[in-house]
Each structure stands twice: as structure tokens, then as C-alpha cells.
Amino acid sequence: MTINSALFDRVSALLKTQVGPEVYASWFGRLKLHSMSKSVVRLSVPTTFLKSWINNRYLDLITSLFQQEDPDILKVEILVRSATRGARPGIETDAAAPGLPLQGEAQPAPAQPRRATSQPASLGQHASAILPGSAAQIPPRPAPAGSPSGPLFGSPLDTRYTFDSFVEGSSNRVALAAARTIADAGASAVRFNPLFVHSTVGLGKTHLLQAIANAAISGPRHSRVVYLTAEYFMWRFATAIRDNDALSLKETLRNIDLLIIDDMQFLQGKSIQHEFCHLLNMLLDSAKQVVVAADRAPWELESLDPRVRSRLQGGVAIEMEGPDFDMRMEILTRRLEVARQEDPSLDIAPEILTHVARSITASGRELEGAFNQLLFRRSFEPNLSIERVDELLGHLVNAGEPRRVRIEDIQRVVAKHYNVSRQELVSNRRTRVIVKPRQIAMYLAKALTPRSFPEIGRRFGGRDHTTVLHAVRKIEELIAGDSKLSHEIELLKRLINE
């Protein structure tokens, strides 16, 4: 083994530890060392898609790992294998890669590089399946692919995600009702087609989508369901194209009853979006149900092909908001009940749970993290006080604070700073002295609150969401080239958060 090969092997091992074996196998299993100079490492992959994917998501990580092993390395480049035939023999060998599985075959887990490997429970986390301690201790229970109880193919379904285990409240009741209607009525529920569910992270979108899939599969119609993350869709189509299997894949998708796509904001690449647009048109024109989820509304998915965005906007978009106090109490109460199944002696005082529910307001994931902290600390601090709980959970409380900023607070602070009135900010006046503060206020509303562009527009005199989008982009451009304005924005953020 050469020195260069040994270095590559060490970095590969570190990378596998960082991203996990499943993600590593999915995205880096065919990454090869091409060549090395004193300061540049060149790696190769078999497809342009993989090159783009790794460059966009993992290049900084890979570079830092090489620099950790050899500080002289300044740059890492990713090449496509077809363009590297002059490489030294023995460095690049690429075994034939099998295509992605279809019905009944075992599937590699889809990569989710933007999500944590171990995620705390969302609002819809299935309480009866969570044991005390970290959620990472619980192996997922995917429904078998290609069976009557599993999806046709795609990302694995977790059978813990059901409608019964979903914590319902005022912030998600409409989305839940629409989801139940689709699961029960199948293709006849075209009035919700496509259904687009959006929210910030940790509010139960994935749970809701998988609940639809699980209910549709197990229902009397035994619907043909495909549940995919956007990243899995990209991977599946890329490998189908590579293996000359695209027509077969399209034919399979043509015959499904229900398509569910999660994390739509990650769908990238012109050719992949082109294929998705064709699929979307084909299914909707055939009155097949489509359900999509993302972390923002469809009109805010700027990286999407305009045709895809337009088609998604033609259905019903429903926003899920943060849990109210009653929902947060329900989540914590369910969590405690499950923990007691493992340890009947477990007891957390009701006033502690109430205090946590009042303090942690951002999402179900923060609540799960808070509860896990309490369980851990209770093992050697059995008499936790509310003051001690505040010390332990302070980072979670602080993490949720920006989401509690009100648009009215932003308007008040910005108006005072620029010596205009709040009424002028929301008026139709378009003088320079008003327009810039108004745009800054809109930018801050998007940056400091979870509100969508249409909601922000309504709070600024009933303006269209495109006006808000223009304002946000304008201020972003100005900040990039104007350090004085950048400092001014930071000052306003501090004033708003005080």
C-alpha cells in the first residue's frame, strides 16, 4: 500500500465515522483516489450526479478530514471517472454497481445528509415506540418493501408513524384532517391534489406523510404507494439513468395510486427536476394523488423549476405551526408514560413537566431533547428543582426564542430606528425614506420569525408574497456589499430580541 493510499483509507474511515455507515455506503462507496500532489487531492466518482452531490454537500467536510491528516493539503477536487482514464492502475477500480432495488428487494437506506443521524421526536413521534434515553437506541421498523404491508419501492416506512400516534392540536388539525381524507378516500380525494404540507423542522411533517402511506397501504384498497424523500428520488433516477433503466422506472411510477415526496426543498439538478415535472404532470393528469412536504411554502422554493413550482401551487398548501401549550404537555405526558413502561419507578413531578412545556416552545424535537435531559439527570439527581431544570435546559429555551419574535415587534423597532411611523411601514407610500425601512422590516420578519412570505405580506398592508420575496432578496444583496448596512441589520436584530 502506498503512502497516498494509506492516507485515503484513513480519511475514508474518518468520513464513514462522521456520516454513518449507511450514508457512506450510499454516497461514498465508489469514491476512489485518483491522484495526489503536495497540496491537491483528486478523487473520482463514476457519475456527474455524484460529483455534483458531493461537491455541494460534503466537499468541505472531506477537505477538512484530509487537512486533519496532512496539513499541507490545501484543496480536494472531485472528478468524474470517465474523464480520468489516464489514472495510475491500481488506484481506481470500480466494481459494477448494482441498480437500486425494486419490488421485494432489500434496499440500502436513503441518505439524509441534512438531518441528524439521531433525530429527536417530532410532534408526531410515536410515543409507544420510544424507550427511555436517546431515540437513537430505537431501531426503526420499516415496513417490508414490495409486500402488501409495504410501499412499492422507495424510502423505508416506519410503522410507528401512524395517525393514532400523531399529537393533534390547533396548529396541525387542518393538515391532519386533509391527510386522513387522502388516506381514507384514495384517488377520489382529488380536491386536495396535490396536497402540500409545509413547516419549519420538527413539527411532524414526516410523521404525517408516513402516516398517510401506512394507512393507505393497510387500508381496504391496498393502494400502490411510493414514499420517497427528495434525495432518494434524485438518487433513484440518477442510478436508473446510469443503468439504462429509466423507462422501467417511469412505467412503475405510472401505475401507482399515491406518490408521497418528503423534503421537497432538497430536489436539485435540472435533469432531475425535469423528470420530476413529467412525473408530476402524468400523475395529476391521471387523477392520482400526490402529497408533498417541505420546510417552506411552494412559492418559496426558489431552486425549483418554475413549472414544478406552478404545479405544486395548483393544489392545497397547508402550513403546520409550532405546538401550543396543550400539545406540548401531551407530548411530554406520552413520553413519560412510555418511559415508565421500562422503569415503573420513574417519576417526574407534574410541575416540572408543566414548566418544561411552558419553556420549550419551538418544536417537538426540542421537547424530546429536554425530556431526554431530564431522564439522564434524574439517574443521579433524583430531586431536580425548577431552578436546576432551567440550568440544564437553558440552551433549548434560548434556541426557541427567535421563533417567538412578533412581526409587530419588528415593525416597531425598525420604525423607531429609521424615524418613521409603523403606519407608514404598512402603508402604500413608496418614497425612498419609507421603502428601504419597509424592505428591511420584511427581511427581518423572514429572518426572525417562521412566518411565510404571504403571511408577512398580509402584515405589511396586504402586500403580495412576491413583494416580500423581492424585499428579502434586495436586502440580502445590499448586505453582501455594504458592511455598514450589515452592522445596522445586526443591531436591529439585537434590539428586536431584547
Provide the residue count of the chain.
498
Residue 494 to residue 409: CA distance in whole angstroms: 12
Identify the burial level of 339 via C-beta atoms within 10 angstroms of its C-beta, where 0-12 means exposed, 13-18 middle and 19 or more buried.
buried
CA–CA gap between residue 151 and residue 227 (Å, rounded): 7
Can you tell me whether residue 319 is helix, strand or coil? strand
- Residue 86 φ/ψ, nearest 5 degrees: -85, 10
20 annotated to a ligand binding site: no
In whole angstroms, what is the distance from residue 60 CA to residue 64 CA? 6
Is 150 known to sit in a ligand binding site? no
Record the cell numbers describing residue 409, joined without a space: 415587534
Helix (H) or strand (E) holding 196: strand 195-198
157: buried, middle or exposed (CB in 10 Å: 19+, 13-18, 0-12)?
A: buried
Locate 486 and state its grid cell: 450589515
CA separation for the pair 130, 287 (Å, rounded)? 38
Of 100, 94, 59, which is closest to residue 238 (Cα–Cα)?
100
Positive or negative, the CA dihedral 201, 204, 205, 206 is positive
Quote the CA–CA distance of 68 and 57 in Å, as a whole number.
19
Grid coordinates representing 210 are: 408516513
Q: Distance between alpha carbon 287 and the CA centroid of its chain, in Å?
A: 28
C-alpha to C-alpha distance for 271 and 342, rounded to whole angstroms: 50
Cβ neighbours for 200, distance < 8 A, ≥ 6 positions apart: 295, 322, 363, 403, 450
Answer left, alpha or beta for residue 67, where phi above 0 means left and psi between -120 and 50 means alpha: alpha
Please say whether the beta carbons of 326 and 169 come within 8 A: yes
Is 202 annotated in a binding site? The answer is: yes
Cβ-contact 377, 347 below 8 angstroms: no
Cell of 155: 424510502
Strand order in the sheet with 32-36: 32-36, 40-45, 75-80
For residue 325, give the C-alpha cell.
Answer: 401549550
Asked whether residue 93 is marked as a ligand-binding residue, the answer is no
- The rounded distance, in Å, linking the Cα atoms of 382 and 394 is 19
Enumerate the H helices of 319-460 as residue ranges: 325-342, 350-359, 364-378, 386-400, 407-417, 422-425, 432-448, 453-459
Please state the residue numbers annotated as binding site. Answer: 202, 204-206
Please state the residue numbers annotated as binding site for ATP. Answer: 202, 204-206
